[in-house]
Each structure stands twice: as structure tokens, then as C-alpha cells.
Amino acid sequence: MATRVVLKTYVKSGFAELSNFSIDHVPAPSRDQLKSGEALIRPLYLSVDPHQRGRMGGQSTYVGGYKTGEPITNYLVARVAASASSAVHEGDLVYHGEGKWQTEYIVKASDLTKLPDQEGINPRDYLGVLGVTSFTAFYGFQVRGCPKAGETILVTSAAGGVGQIVVQLAKIHGLYVIGVAGSDEKVEYVKQIGADKAFNYKTCGDYATAIKKAAPEGVDMYFDNVGGPFLDAVLLNLKNGARIIGCGITSQKNVTSANEQYGLKNLFYLISKEATLVGINVSGHFNSPIHDEFVSQISNLYREGKVKFKIAELDGIEKAPQALLDLYDGTNFGKSIVKV
């Protein structure tokens, strides 16, 4: 039998409770059931992420809503148990972006990204330091941001999953790094991982003035995880030729209609400063040379101790609902992962 975590009832308001989930058992799929192009995989580690809350409400979000009676899905790493495709082979380590919280299942091989087994890299690291948040940081900062040593970068949500990797990569590339976070503890952490300056946006007063104070000559790159009024303030503090990497808009996460959306007023500074705003979204870049390059570069930096990443691990697929709840009550510290 295969064990799976199923959404029993939609979570309409507030956060989920354990009673919203059930742990089911279904017949284990066998290799005889494989059609051409399919693979049978066994998840090793499950990623547990805040964005999953939005998918439990029964409404479609940009990655699609969950359905009751079906397994929860999210990023995971797995071993191939059997394959009817030339793309992956038995024993391969793979990443599945929309993987099921189920101990064994059949999937189209084209939906899998093959991962290397590397010395000093645990398979779970592909959900952590080598996972989607790090890939987003690498892709945005290094591939699209065109960083140059000596430039000044500003990073919001600098203690977050994406931001902390941007801070560390920017230091490695010789940039002057200014991190912005939402608590004094996070500000302290951002400094610990290498930021030259950091400030708390909740206590800094006027954003434009705080940015001007931290970067009197303006910023060459802004890694934007928040959008909204902070982005408007950064637009007043750009150097000529600046790049803004548009990664997230967490400042608008509670906005439910376009009318409530914050209206950006300073976009014309992109013209006078010949600046560029680059929207990034790595979902289409997993099976690409860029992803291979990311895995290679970040694996080396991680092994050498030059990039750090904190993981919080729970053991057993039946712990996965609890891991989701822990995200919201402050129990966890670091990237949440469940060992199947």
C-alpha cells in the first residue's frame, strides 16, 4: 500500500487544522502499470511552504487550487523506482515541481527534472539551498541582474528564503549589500550572513529617506520581493542604468481586488535613469542549462561553506500536515522539509 496526505476539507478562513487533512492508504502502483513516457517514483523529501495555504481554499490561484479527496502537492525530491521513458532511469534522483504527498506514484517523465547525486549534497538540499527559492535568487540576481563588483544592491525580505541567498551571492560577487527585513532579529541575521547594512522597514520611518541614508548615491540593483510603496520609494533612489529584479509582491498579498492594489506613481524614473524592471519566474527554467549551472555553482559554494542555509526537518510523511501548521505559529526556524 502507498500512504498519502489528502485534503479532507477546504480551509475557508484562518489557517488549517489537522482535521482538514487525512492520512490515507491506496494500492501501491506497480511497474506493470507504466505507459510509455511514464515513471514510477518514491518521494524522499517533501517541501513545506507558506504558499500552500492559498491553495487549500478551493479557489484557483496562479499555481492552481487543491481539491478535497486528492493528495496535497508541492515540490519534492524522489527516486525513480521504475521507468518507461528514456529521459529517466531506475535509481535516478529527480525533482518534481508538482509532486504528490504520497509514498509512491506514477508521473510523466517529462514533468521530472533529473538531479545529480553529489558528494556532500544530501537529496533534501535540493529542496533547501538547491531548491526553488535559491534557484529564484540565482536566476534573478546572477542571470538577469548582471551584477558587477563594486555595485550597490538593495534586497527586501532579505532574511527570507530568496533574499538570504541573494545577500550571500551578492557578497560573493563583491557588491555592497543593503538588506531590508521586518524585525530587528531578522535585521541582525541579515548582517550575520554578510550584508554591509541592514534596516527594519517597520521602524525606519519614511522609506525613501531610509534608502537614501543607506545608499546616498542610489542603488545599481534592487531585488524586489515586496512591490508596493517600498518599490515606489526605491524608484526615487536609482543610479543610472539600474536594474530592478521583480520577484515578489508580498506587500500586496492581502489585496483581493485590483482596486485595493497599491498604485505605483514613480515608474517614470525608469526612463530618466535608463533603468530596467525585469520580472522573473523560474517555473519555466527547470529543465534548462541555467538550472544545471545553478546546481553546479551553488553546490560548490555550499560545500565550501560560502553559502549557508538553515533547514527544519520532520520525519515521516504523516507529519507533513503538522509541518504546514508549524509554518504559521513560529515553531519552525529555517526551511521546512519532511522526510518521507
Interface ranges with its own copies (CB under 8 A): 62, 227, 240, 246-249, 252, 258-259, 261-281, 284
Q: How far is the CB of 283 from its own copies (least distance, A)?
A: 9
> 80 vs 162, which CB is nearer to its own copies?
162
Nearer residue to its own copies within complex by CB, 158 or 275 = 275
The DSSP code sequence of 92-155 is -EEEEEEEESBSSEEEEGGGEEEE---TT--GGGGGTTTSHHHHHHIIIIIIIS---TT-EEEE
Q: Which amino acid, one-letter code, is at 11?
A: V
In the bound state with its own copies, the residue whose beta carbon lies nearer, of 143 and 311, is: 143
Whats the size of the chain, residue-wise?
340
- Bridge-based pairing of strands 21-26 and 73-83 is unpaired
Structural element, H or E, at residue 24 = strand 21-26
Closest approach, Cβ 76 to its own copies, in A, equals: 23
Grid cell digits, residue 199 = 534596516
The alpha carbon dihedral of 230, 233, 235, 238 has a sign of: negative
CA distances from 33 to 81, 93, 160, 227 (A): 13, 21, 42, 47
Which one, 7 or 245, has the nearer CB to its own copies? 245
Inter-residue contact 250 to 227 (CB < 8 Å): yes
65 within 8 A of 43, measured Cβ to Cβ: no
Tell me the closest approach of the beta carbon of residue 63 to its own copies, in angstroms: 10
Give the nearer residue to its own copies in terms of CB position, either 42 or 239: 239
Unique residue bearing C-alpha cell 475557508: 12
CA distance 309 to 88: 29
Least distance CB 160 / its own copies (angstroms): 16
Q: 93-100 and 112-115 as β-strands: parallel, antiparallel, unpaired?
A: antiparallel
Tell me the closest approach of the beta carbon of residue 139 to its own copies, in angstroms. 10
Nearest-approach distance from CB 248 to its own copies, in angstroms: 7
**In the bound complex, what is the minimum distance in angstroms from residue 213's beta carbon to its own copies?**
20
Rounded to whole angstroms, the Cα distance separating 139 from 283 reads 11
Q: Taking the complex as a whole, how short is the minimal distance between the CB of residue 275 and its own copies, in angstroms?
A: 5
Choice between 192 and 288, CB closer to its own copies: 288
* Rounded Cα distance, 26 and 87, in Å: 27
Looking at beta carbons only, is 246 or 321 nearer to its own copies?
A: 246
In the complex with its own copies, the residue whose CB is nearer, 205 or 279, is 279
113: number of Cβ within 10 Å:
19
